Amino acid sequence: MHNKEAVDIVIKTGFKTITHNIAFQPATVAKGKNLALAEHVKDIEEHRRNNNSFIIKARIIRQAWVHSTPHITSLKIHSERYVTDVHCNCVYNQSKKCKHVAALVYFTNNDESASETSNEQQWANTDDRAIRSPLHIQRGKGTFTIAQAPWMPLSVPSHHCHGCT
């Protein structure tokens, strides 16, 4: 008899939406959303075995003490992407409805990394004008502009010095 070995996969980007029946307080939902938007949800991983997801977990950086140990938060999900159980190691999660769980739910359902991947692939199709134009990078709440100085060559000219041999 031939047994199939379980294949575990960890996904770190491009999450599909999940559903849940967690009765968060409205203020908790807002706090969770703010944590996610402030980029406090880190190292998110979705674990799959034989192509079925079973857990999504992340570190949630504390708001007041950002240098303290982050909270470890996880969502157990079944094959239909429905949350069946949650865990967070914060002191407020006895009811399983803390802002860290809300942040992980919000992040998972609003992950924009799939569109970031599409944008990164455009680099292979740039022309000379695109290389010369300013580059705008948006991360979190800030936008950075990197512009090529007009005197910077796009390529290194070949060496034509008369004194060299």
110-121 per-position pLDDT tens digit = 987 544 433 333
What pLDDT is attached to residue 5? 67
Structure tokens given for 155: 């390529």
- The tokens 């992340």 sit on which residue? 58
pTM of model > 0.75? no
Q: How confident is the model at residue 129 (pLDDT cuts 50, 70, 90)?
A: very low
What pLDDT is attached to residue 3? 52
Is residue 89 over pLDDT 50?
yes
What pLDDT is attached to residue 51? 81
pLDDT tens digits for range 27-86: 999 999 999 999 999 999 999 988 888 999 999 999 888 789 999 999 999 989 999 999
| Residues 6+ away with beta carbon under 8 Å from 38 | 63, 140
